[in-house]
């Protein structure tokens, strides 16, 4: 009976840092040996470049840098451990998304990814050629392994081909981005393969944030009965040990299954991970945000503190005459609860200065949203000045519901570098705020329960301009995430007036979203790489 000690290396590579990622592989293999007596170590997809490397894959020096990294690994890796890792490889002037198996200073096998995703946030066909070798299998200490890469397991043929070639266990290397309920989706998919083909499968995934994408790890192993017998923690860099025992024609897996995070805990940790990696990987000293006393900025502040620590976070309340005493009190309470630096900088003087400067331009006109937007722009100027002076990243606080319908001000509350809640609908903002308060109470209850308001005009409430958020968010989910037409949304029981108004606002405000900061993706379709709509368009509502 063959027995093999395996470690899945759930790591957080830095995109483009081939030298640093190579060192990461070396360090993790040595650690896997010293801590777990590893005989086989698996790394995620494209670990040497990080994922997604985007147009770095088109750089002329890529092939040279990868070749140098591969040679270094062959020389410096321990000679008695098998290492499987992902990297881009060029053959016959074609670039492949590949995996190699290294042992004793040699490359034992290489596999090219067969199924290239080209949807949602993926555009691998822009860079890679599909692999045409049906299967790569190899024997390691008496167990026959097949190799696949990420999207391959979302199709049957790559797994079936490996099984037909004799594989008892599939090694699947991944850079699989997070969205809500993704861990369950992966398990159900892998479970189906394992039961159908009576094989086991090891699924290693990377962790960390890369611009708008979050990788949640949750590496797993599933046996031939479809049981998830190993599950790693989400959002944590870690070595995941397991043992494989070959008994006749099947492989028995032993390891640890951690408790899966709840939906709200998982989304919250995705936001924390995204902020932490964006700030740290881009070498910002800290972050600054406008703290309004409302729920969006309160949740953003909590995420920021959990991501990088209170000592690197500054919150600024910028009141005007429409700012309520309640908002001033709640903003101060939030800042004190989280222990951040807190400043109050009134904007009345700057607003009045702008109005004086614009007096001739505005002569004969009535007060309208222009003056409301000017308040937001005064605040944006202040935050960007603090950012420039202190080297801080400005976190904007707009949520997905607002971004969808344009309930935001260009160069005002949209000014900044990173939008934490960009893909978080307002109803989920409320749920996440309640969840965060179960950890420790940092958001005053009345911030969660009172009607949301931008406080740019007397007695203003969001629902004066928008449908109730539970209605708005469901219309937006259907239209933006599910691509349901306006008329078909109406058929589902929504008011035609509401639906047509919301859809029209979504379409009209594409120009704003193109100029908005990037933000963390947590749904199956966010605003960004997922959804690429023209600004200038003759498309009509209902189509």
In this prediction, residues 94-106 reach a mean pLDDT of 97
pLDDT at 487: 93
| 278 and 239 within one domain | no
pLDDT at 452: 72
Q: Residues with Cβ < 8 Å from 216, sequence gap 6 or more? A: 178, 182, 183, 205, 207, 234, 235, 266, 269, 270, 273
Q: Is 290 annotated as a binding residue?
A: yes
The Cα–Cα gap between 271 and 394 comes to 16
**Window from 39-48, 234-243, 448-457 with minimum mean pLDDT:** 448-457
**What's the CA dihedral at 301, 303, 304, 306 to 10 degrees?**
120
Residue that has been written with the tokens 């890529």 in this structure? 62
The Cα–Cα gap between 447 and 429 comes to 12
Q: Residues with Cβ < 8 Å from 42, sequence gap 6 or more? A: 6, 7, 8, 9, 84, 85, 171, 173, 202, 204
Q: What order of strands is seen across the sheet that includes strand 40-42?
A: 106-112, 94-103, 82-91, 40-42, 2-10, 238-247, 250-254
pLDDT at 542: 62
Q: Is 295 annotated as a binding residue?
A: yes
Pairing of strands 106-112, 94-103: antiparallel
Q: 339, 343, 373: which is closest to 355 by C-alpha?
A: 373
Among the options 39, 113, 169, 400, which is catalytic?
113
The Cα–Cα gap between 156 and 154 comes to 7
Please give the residue range of the domain that contains residue 376: 265-461
pLDDT at 318: 95
In this prediction, residues 194-217 reach a mean pLDDT of 96
In this prediction, residues 62-71 reach a mean pLDDT of 96
Q: Is 20 annotated as a binding residue?
A: no
Q: Residues with Cβ < 8 Å from 490, sequence gap 6 or more? A: 496, 499
| 278 and 212 within one domain | no
pLDDT at 393: 98
Q: How confident is the model at residue 133 (pLDDT cuts 50, 70, 90)?
A: confident
Share of the chain above pLDDT 90, in %: 87
Q: Is 373 annotated as a binding residue?
A: yes
Q: Is 312 exposed, middle or buried (0-12, 13-18, 19+ CB in 10 A)?
A: buried
Q: End of a domain among 232, 259, 286?
A: 259
Under a CB-based contact definition with an 8 Å cutoff, are residues 310 and 342 in contact?
Answer: no
* Between 528 and 100, the higher pLDDT residue: 100
Q: Is 293 annotated as a binding residue?
A: yes
Residue that has been written with the tokens 């007096």 in this structure? 359
Does 110 reside within a domain? yes
Residue 457 has pLDDT above 70, yes or no: no
185 catalytic? Reply is no
What are the angstrom distances between the C-alpha of 62 and each of 23, 51, 58, 241, 324? 17, 14, 7, 32, 56
Residue 454 has pLDDT above 60, yes or no: yes
**Window from 22-36, 57-71, 129-143, 274-288 with minimum mean pLDDT:** 129-143
| 271 and 215 within one domain | no
Q: What is the pLDDT of residues 510-519, one digit of tens each?
A: 999 999 999 9
**Window from 128-137, 215-224, 271-280 with minimum mean pLDDT:** 128-137
pLDDT at 42: 98
Which of the 8 DSSP states describes residue 338? H
CATH number (domain holding residue 63): 3.60.110.10
Does 287 reside within a domain? yes
| 336 and 251 within one domain | no
Does 16 reside within a domain? yes
3-state secondary structure of 139: strand
pLDDT at 530: 83
Residue 543 has pLDDT above 60, yes or no: no
In this prediction, residues 61-68 reach a mean pLDDT of 96
150 catalytic? Reply is yes
Residue 247 has pLDDT above 90, yes or no: no
pLDDT at 340: 97
| 192 and 160 within one domain | yes
Q: Is 188 annotated as a binding residue?
A: no
| 281 and 146 within one domain | no
Q: Which tokens is 192 given? A: 């189906």
Q: What is the DSSP string of 259-315?
A: PPPPHHHHHHHHHHHHHHHHHHHTT-SEEEEE--SSHHHHHHHHHHHHHH-GGGEEE
Q: End of a domain among 240, 259, 278?
A: 259
| 9 and 56 within one domain | yes
pLDDT at 323: 86
**Window from 154-158, 313-317, 416-420 with minimum mean pLDDT:** 154-158
Average pLDDT, the chain: 94
Residue 10: CB atoms within 10 A of its CB come to 28
Does 208 reside within a domain? yes
Q: At what angle do helices 348-357 and 369-390 cross, to 10 degrees?
A: 120
Does 338 reside within a domain? yes
Q: How confident is the model at residue 460 (pLDDT cuts 50, 70, 90)?
A: low
- How many folded domains does the chain comprise? 2
| 225 and 153 within one domain | yes
Q: 111, 100, 97: which is closest to 74 by C-alpha?
A: 100
Q: How confident is the model at residue 462 (pLDDT cuts 50, 70, 90)?
A: low
Residue that has been written with the tokens 């083909």 in this structure? 197
Q: What is the pLDDT of residues 481-495, one digit of tens each?
A: 999 999 999 999 999
Q: 143, 148, 191, 149: which is closest to 168 by C-alpha?
A: 143
| 230 and 95 within one domain | yes
Within 382-508, strands assigned E span 392-396, 418-419
Q: 354, 298, 349: which is closest to 320 by C-alpha?
A: 349
113 catalytic? Reply is yes
Q: Is 182 annotated as a binding residue?
A: yes
Q: Is 485 annotated as a binding residue?
A: no
In this prediction, residues 520-540 reach a mean pLDDT of 87
Q: What is the pLDDT of residues 380-435, one digit of tens each?
A: 999 999 999 999 999 999 999 999 999 999 999 999 999 999 999 999 999 999 99
| 356 and 273 within one domain | yes
CATH number (domain holding residue 414): 3.40.50.620
Backbone angles phi, psi at 159, to 5 degrees: -70, -45
The Cα–Cα gap between 219 and 204 comes to 5
Does 339 reside within a domain? yes
Residue 1 has pLDDT above 60, yes or no: no
Among the options 39, 45, 151, 481, which is catalytic?
45
pLDDT at 146: 96
In this prediction, residues 74-84 reach a mean pLDDT of 97
The structure's pTM equals: 0.94
pLDDT at 404: 95
| 396 and 318 within one domain | yes
Under a CB-based contact definition with an 8 Å cutoff, are residues 162 and 193 in contact?
Answer: no
Among the options 39, 115, 124, 150, which is catalytic?
150
Q: 192, 169, 190: which is closest to 246 by C-alpha?
A: 169
The Cα–Cα gap between 513 and 518 comes to 9
The Cα–Cα gap between 186 and 88 comes to 24
Q: 303, 315, 365: which is closest to 340 by C-alpha?
A: 315
Q: Is 512 annotated as a binding residue?
A: yes
Q: Is 294 annotated as a binding residue?
A: yes
| 388 and 255 within one domain | no
The Cα–Cα gap between 59 and 145 comes to 33
Does 475 reside within a domain? no
Q: End of a domain among 225, 259, 293?
A: 259
**Interior angle at CA 243, CA 242 and CA 246, nearest 5:** 145
* Between 172 and 250, the higher pLDDT residue: 172
pLDDT at 134: 82
Q: How confident is the model at residue 332 (pLDDT cuts 50, 70, 90)?
A: very high
């Amino acid at each position: 009976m063959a027995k093999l000690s395996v470690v899945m290396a759930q790591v957080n590579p830095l995109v483009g840092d081939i030298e640093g990622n190579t060192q990461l592989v070396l360090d993790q293999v040595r650690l896997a040996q010293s801590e777990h007596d590893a005989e086989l170590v698996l790394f995620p997809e494209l670990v040497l470049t990080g994922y997604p490397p985007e147009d770095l894959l088109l750089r002329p020096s890529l092939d040279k840098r990868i070749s140098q990294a591969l040679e270094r690994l062959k020389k410096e890796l321990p000679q008695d451990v098998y290492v499987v890792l992902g990297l881009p490889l060029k053959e016959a002037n074609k670039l492949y998304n590949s995996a190699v198996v290294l042992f004793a200073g040699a490359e034992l096998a290489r596999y090219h990814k067969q199924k290239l995703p080209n949807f949602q946030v993926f555009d691998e066909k822009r860079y890679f050629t599909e692999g045409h070798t049906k299967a790569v299998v190899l024997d390691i200490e008496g167990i026959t392994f097949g190799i696949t890469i990420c999207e391959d397991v979302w199709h049957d043929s790559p797994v079936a081909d490996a099984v037909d070639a004799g594989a008892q266990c599939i090694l699947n290397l991944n850079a699989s981005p997070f969205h809500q309920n993704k861990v369950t989706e992966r398990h159900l998919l892998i479970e189906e393969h394992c039961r159908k083909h009576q094989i086991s499968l090891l699924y290693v995934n990377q962790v960390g944030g890369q611009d708008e994408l979050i990788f949640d790890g949750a590496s797993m192993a599933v046996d031939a009965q479809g049981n998830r017998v190993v599950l790693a923690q989400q959002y944590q860099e870690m070595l995941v040990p397991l043992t494989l025992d070959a008994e006749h024609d099947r492989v028995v897996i032993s390891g640890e299954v951690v408790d899966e995070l709840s939906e709200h805990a998982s989304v919250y940790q995705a936001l924390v991970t995204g902020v932490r990696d964006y700030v740290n990987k881009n070498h910002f000293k800290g972050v600054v945000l406008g703290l309004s006393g409302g729920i969006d900025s309160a949740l953003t502040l909590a995420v920021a503190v959990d991501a990088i620590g209170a000592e690197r976070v500054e919150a600024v309340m910028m009141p005007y005459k429409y700012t309520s005493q309640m908002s001033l009190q709640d903003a101060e309470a939030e800042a004190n609860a989280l222990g951040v630096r807190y400043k109050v900088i009134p904007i009345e003087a700057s607003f009045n200065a702008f109005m004086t400067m614009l007096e001739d331009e505005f002569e004969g006109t009535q007060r309208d949203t222009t003056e409301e937007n000017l308040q937001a722009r005064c605040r944006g100027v202040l935050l960007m000045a603090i950012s420039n002076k202190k080297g801080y990243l400005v976190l904007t606080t707009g949520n997905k519901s607002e971004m969808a319908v344009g309930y935001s001000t260009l160069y005002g509350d949209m000014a900044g570098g990173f939008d934490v809640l960009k893909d978080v609908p307002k109803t989920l903002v409320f749920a996440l705020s309640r969840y965060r308060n179960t950890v420790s109470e940092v958001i005053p209850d009345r911030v969660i329960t009172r009607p949301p308001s931008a406080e740019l005009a007397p007695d203003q409430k969001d629902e004066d301009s928008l449908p109730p958020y539970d209605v708005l968010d469901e219309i937006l989910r259907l239209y933006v995430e599910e691509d349901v037409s306006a008329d078909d949304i109406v058929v589902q029981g929504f008011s035609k007036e509401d639906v047509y108004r919301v859809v029209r606002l979504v379409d009209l405000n594409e120009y704003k979203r193109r100029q908005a900061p990037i933000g963390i993706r947590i749904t199956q379709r966010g605003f960004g790489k997922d959804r690429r709509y023209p600004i200038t368009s003759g498309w009509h509502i209902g189509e």
